[in-house]
Structure 1
Amino acid sequence: MSTPPRRRAPTVISVDSVNPDLVPGGAGESVVADLCGRWLTARGFEVHRLERRPRRPSLVAIARGTGGGRSLMLNGHLDTVGLAGYDGDPLAPRVHDGRMYGRGAFDMKGGTAAMMVAAARATAHGFLRGDVILACVADEEHGSTGTEEVLKSFTADAAIVTEPSQLQVTLAHKGFAWFEVEIEGRAAHGSRPELGVDAIAKAGHFLVPLEDLGRRLARGPAHPLLGTGTVHASVIRGGEEPSTYPARCRITLERRTVPGESADGVERELTALLDQLASTVPDFRYRLTRGLDREPFQADPGAPIVCTLTRHAERALGHPPVVRAEPFWTDCALLDRAGIPCLLFGVDGAGAHAADEYADLGSLDRLTDILTGTIAEFCS
């Protein structure tokens, strides 16, 4: 009688966890959260499952210290972007030339796995005084509702977000603010220009100074790590048919912000621009609506968690780590706003949101070692 083939144990990469807020019908985080929860429970962690949004769970796993030490939270997200367009099978992880390929290997299941293994190693003998807290969160790729939910019930003396950073110490990142500008026209038959107001043509009056605003931002004061803020039009919608003057044109825009800038300031900036057009362009009417916004982030380079991790990174790498910033947004800003000093540090690799994604396995080993040493020292 033949022996049935041995089934491979699922890995975090082989489990579909596409964010359904990005891709309708996406699997969400339930199954990968189950996998991580079993792994952590088997290693003695106290596991809490938070699921304010059905089928969108985050896990908080705690190794309690003996008392009197500093607590440390390690944060990593479980969701990924979509699978369509990936070159090959995105859920069949493969190793080639020292790289692990698959959707989420780089962004950021590699970092989440590293922080889990590091925490298990550092707490295996129960000698630490401070609590070690793992936040395996949902929805970072869209609205970060997972980290927001975690921070309603849990805190720590410091945190590390293990987003990919090429083993470079990341101490700042940009924020963003989304706005929709609706330019109002007047619908009329295309043969009756005296009755119609072309909302699309009026929108052109806005797009020109918006581009100029981008140029002025680029010439303005720069953050030492991030440079300047930016603005661009992302989506434009307007019109119904060729023979009708469009009654409205909607423009969605994104303003990337640096420390010192805020969504409130951006709203004032855009309102001033639009009010100027309303006072000078005939029949120019608008409505400005603010959408999602997230603050920029800047860490204190002298914070104890930054100094501790930097010291262990230098020991593992054989040289001082590069200090850098990221142009994209991360959950660091939410942790910082909650009063938790933090930084970002993660694996090397490439292909975030791309057709070919991988994490460098050597860097994954070094990341795990650096996190293990940092946990052991910070929480001792």
Structure 2
Amino acid sequence: MREFEELETHITTLLSEMVSIPSVNPGEGTVDNIRGEERMASYLFNYFKHHSYSFNVKKEEILTDRPNIYIETSNDPNKKTLLFETHTDTVSVDHMSISPFEPFIKDGKFYGRGSCDAKGQLVAMISGIEMALEENDGVLPINVKLAATVDEEHLHRGVDRLVELGIKADGAVAGEPTELKIVSATKGSIRFKIRTTGKSAHTANPQDGINAIYIMSDVIQVIQKKIVPLLQNRNHPLCGNATTSVTIIGGGSQVNIVPDECVIDVDRRLLPGEQWEEAYQEIQDMIMDNLDQDLHSAIIFDYPYLIDPSLETSQASSIVSAFSAMMQSHNEDLILCQENRHRFFYRAFAW
């Protein structure tokens, strides 16, 4: 087993190398010198291909120049399987006050884009696998798989592909920053647009037009005064209450023209047990039920462009119990909780 100082140097070096590799999520844009996960995927592929221990390594292109990486220590059907999953993409580097890809340590903290979310988690998973192999002479009593996926920060198409493949595991851990808290439940979300249509006219004669922004203001009032209070009374013991928010609005083309269209984006957070279809329909029904019939034809609900299911693993499950015991043995505070800012922190499930 390596000494602590040697292990610390290895982990710091590994994280520094990863943070130095730009992998900003391009969204629906094009891959360029800082956007896209190909560079990170190639780094991981080569790291494990040339490792002192033998790994099965596979690269699968999910989007153009944006591949997932799959690593496994073994694939023995007689062994249980533990899956580690995290992502290789990061959020934007816009407005950062430091150079995003020149990592450094200051006052015991590591700085650089992705060091917290989620290259730090990726390094922790890799180091944990390596330490387990060292302690067991290179042969583990279980199969361990690691999936480093793309596009988590946008439409999570990397992990969607992982599910489509039908990967099997007895338990799984997804890496996100939790301050070492065990998170066994998380809200889901749907995001969609609502559009209102009107009729343009010159503002010298606004009565000749139909103002789409005015119609949208009625829609927003229903959301704020009817739907939001309703959801405040819908609670989960770990996740708190369900929520919905209007987050983006746009409409109008010129200051002297009555707008014929207005668009808002709506974010609805789902509690464990809630189905996205029912939540989506509830919003539509409540808006229509609270507005005049003559406005109905002017309101359009787009199909959700993001559908994220909520997740919950029983606190009595074997994997949560095992991780809880491990945390307590290391004198860490044990908190089973949900953190609203992120989708996945700790997820355990069996497919």
TM-score range, shorter chain: 0.7 to 0.9
- Show structure 2 runs of 5+ residues with no match: 1-12
TM-score w.r.t. the length of structure 2 is 0.87
1:137 and 2:149 are equivalent in the alignment? yes
The match for 1:30 among 34, 38, 47 is 38
Q: TM-score, normalised by structure 1?
A: 0.81
Q: 1:76 to 1:210 in 2, by over 3 A?
A: same
* 1:76 equivalenced with 2:86 (yes/no): yes
Query: Which of 269, 294, 309 is 1:256 aligned to?
Result: 269
Structure 2: distance between partners of 1:319 and 1:271: 45
Residues 90-115 of structure 1 deviation map (CA, whole Å, 9 limit, x = unaligned): 11111122211111111110110110
1:127-184 Cα offsets, whole Å, 9 max, x none, are: 3232110111111111111111223332211101121110111111111111211111
Distance 1:329 1:297, change over 3 A: farther
Q: Does residue 108 of the first structure (1) align with residue 118 of the second (2)?
A: yes
SS in 1 for 2:191: strand
Secondary structure (helix, strand or coil) at the match of 2:145 reads strand
Structure 1 stretches of 4+ with a deviation exceeding 4 A read 22-26, 280-284, 331-336
1:267 aligns with 2:280: yes
Taking structure 1 as reference, are residues 82 and 22 closer, same or farther at Cα in structure 2, changes over 3 Å only? Answer: farther
Match of 1:85 among 83, 86, 95: 95
Deviates more, 1:190-199 or 1:111-120: 190-199
Q: More displaced, 273-282 or 163-172?
A: 273-282
Residues 1:297 and 2:307 are matched in the alignment: no
SS of residue paired to 1:189: coil
Q: Return the alpha-carbon distance in structure 1 between the equivalents of residues 297 and 346 of structure 2.
A: 37
- CA gap of 1:80–1:23, structure 2 versus 1, over 3 A, is farther
Q: State the number of aligned residues.
A: 330
Q: Which of 165, 169, 173 lines up with 2:186 in the alignment? A: 173
- Which residue of 97, 106, 110 maps to 1:96? 106
Task: Extract unaligned runs of 5+ from structure 1.
Answer: 1-7, 341-380
Q: Within 2, Cα distance between the matches of 1:188 and 1:319? A: 65
* CA spacing shift, 1:84–1:22, aligned 2, 3 Å: farther
Residue of structure 1 aligned with 2:139, choices 116, 121, 127 = 127
Contact 2:86–2:148 (CA<8 Å) still a contact in 1?
yes
Q: Which residue of 2 aligns with 1:314?
A: 328
Cα RMSD (Å): 2.3
Q: Give the corresponding residue for 2:10.
A: none
In 2: Cα distance, 1:284 partner to 1:197 partner: 13
Residue 315 of structure 1 and its aligned partner are, at CA, apart by 1.4
Aligned-partner residue type, residue 295 of structure 1: P
> Per the alignment, do residues 14 and 113 of structure 1 end up closer, same or farther by CA in structure 2, a change over 3 Å counting?
same
Distance 1:65 1:51 in 2: 22
What per-residue deviation string (whole Å, max 9, x for no partner) do you get for residues 66-105 of structure 1?
A: 6522100001111101112112111111112221111111
Counterpart of 1:348 in structure 2 is none
Name the stretch that deviates more: 258-267 or 215-224: 215-224
Distance in 2 separating the partners of 1:277 and 1:191: 31
Instruction: Please say if residues 313 and 348 of structure 2, whose CA atoms lie closer than 8 Å, have aligned partners that are also in contact.
Output: no
* CA distance 1:23–1:114, change in 2 (3 Å): farther
How far apart are the structure 2 equivalents of 1:37 and 1:104? 19
Q: Which amino acid aligns with 1:47?
A: V
Within-5 A mapping of 1:215-364? 215-280=228-293, 285-291=298-304, 292-316=306-330, 318-331=331-344, 336=349, 339-340=350-351
**Is contact 2:62–2:68 with CA below 8 Å preserved after alignment?**
no
Residue 17 of structure 1 corresponds to 23
Q: 2:55 corresponds to which residue?
A: 45
Using the alignment, how far apart are the partners of 2:312 and 2:255 within structure 1?
49
Work out the CA distance in 2 between the residues paired with 1:301 and 1:322: 11
Contact 1:310 1:320 survives alignment (8 Å): no
Describe the shift of the 1:296–1:166 C-alpha distance in structure 2 as closer, same or farther (beyond 3 A).
same
Partner of 1:374: none
Q: Is the 8 A contact 1:295 1:333 kept in 2?
A: no
Tell me the CA shift for residue 270 of structure 1.
1.7
Q: Give the match for residue 368 of structure 1.
A: none
